[in-house]
Structure 1
Amino acid sequence: MSETLRIGTDKSELDLALIHDFLATGSSWAQGISFDTVRKSIEHSLCFGGYLGGRQVAFARVISDYATFANLVDVFVLPAHRGQGYSKQLVEAVIAHPELQGLRRFTLATFDAHQLYARYGFTPPHKPDTLMEIYRPGIYQAARR
């Protein structure tokens, strides 16, 4: 049985360097993101850090108005700690957070974790034909040039 992940929303506990390093080099969605962009995104979001023995090993960020809408982003568990149920503990903490109750819409985008999120009620969009986006997948690399 894996150790219980301590999950907190105190931004002063977050290891910004670790979060930036993972997003910029270890994620498939934020390759090349700058430290300043990560810092600013954290400032303006509800963040969840996952800790084992005082060290951060997981992260999730929610962008929300806390009344009608939320978007779950930047969810990760460091590779050395995967397969131990920590992603489930993290998502459970996000879903249970008091500020995120009673929302009309809670969204996320995932490439390969559909089964994880489905267990918490996430489904494909009810009316995908009503959704639109401006998507710039290479924006962080372009900013570095």
Structure 2
Amino acid sequence: MVTVSTDAALLDLDTLHRWLSTDAYWAIGRPREVVERAVAGSLNFGAYDDGRLVGYARVVTDGATFAWLCDVYVDPAARGAGVGISLMEAVDAALTELQVRRTLLATADAHGLYAKFGFEPMAEPERWMLRTFAP
């Protein structure tokens, strides 16, 4: 049975960094120090099976008006076992408790999963702008 915790101290940062920096299309090459800073500045959700990290998601939020769901990842060996659903149930409960008005998500996959939790394509994408930084 998978359990989800928001206790960042439980996260296996070695595993998390390996997942993100080598297998997550949006974070390939992400340095360990950046993963550590991201964890420190976010609301983290770790999914565990017998104490072993099998999934992760994080939310960047002001806790009042806006949130960004990102770095959602499930260990390939655990995919198809409901880990993503467990993570999203925990994320949904936390966001509902915070009552943030908007939660943003950018993804190339798992649209069906996110739709079950109220995510939908932006009605007015032309109103949103993006600033990128390349060090």
TM category (shorter chain) comes to over 0.9
CA drift of 1:49 comes to 0.4
CA drift of 1:100 comes to 4.9
Aligned partners of 2:61 and 2:122: how far apart in 1?
A: 18
CA drift of 1:88 comes to 0.7
CA drift of 1:101 comes to 3.2
CA drift of 1:106 comes to 0.6
Which residue of structure 1 lines up, in the alignment, with residue 12 of structure 2?
A: 15
SS of the residue corresponding to residue 69 of structure 2 reads strand
Aligned partners of 1:65 and 1:113: how far apart in 2?
A: 26
After alignment, is 100-109 or 86-95 more displaced? 100-109
The alignment-based identity, stated in percent, is: 43
- Unpaired runs of 5+ in structure 1? none
Normalising by the residue count of structure 2, what TM-score does the alignment of the two structures yield? 0.94
Which residue of structure 2 lines up, in the alignment, with residue 56 of structure 1?
A: 53
- After superposition, the C-alpha distances for 1:21-53 in whole angstroms (9 at most, x for unaligned) are 000001100000000000000000000000000
How many residue pairs were aligned? 135
Which residue of structure 1 lines up, in the alignment, with residue 73 of structure 2?
A: 76
- Root-mean-square deviation (CA), in Å? 1.4
Which residue of structure 2 lines up, in the alignment, with residue 66 of structure 1?
A: 63
SS of the residue corresponding to residue 97 of structure 1 reads helix
Please give the residue correspondences for 1:1-145 in structure 2 after superposition, counting only pairs within 5 Å. Answer: 4-97=1-94, 100-135=97-132, 139=134
Residues 64, 71 of structure 1: 8 Å contact kept: yes
- Unpaired runs of 5+ in structure 2? none
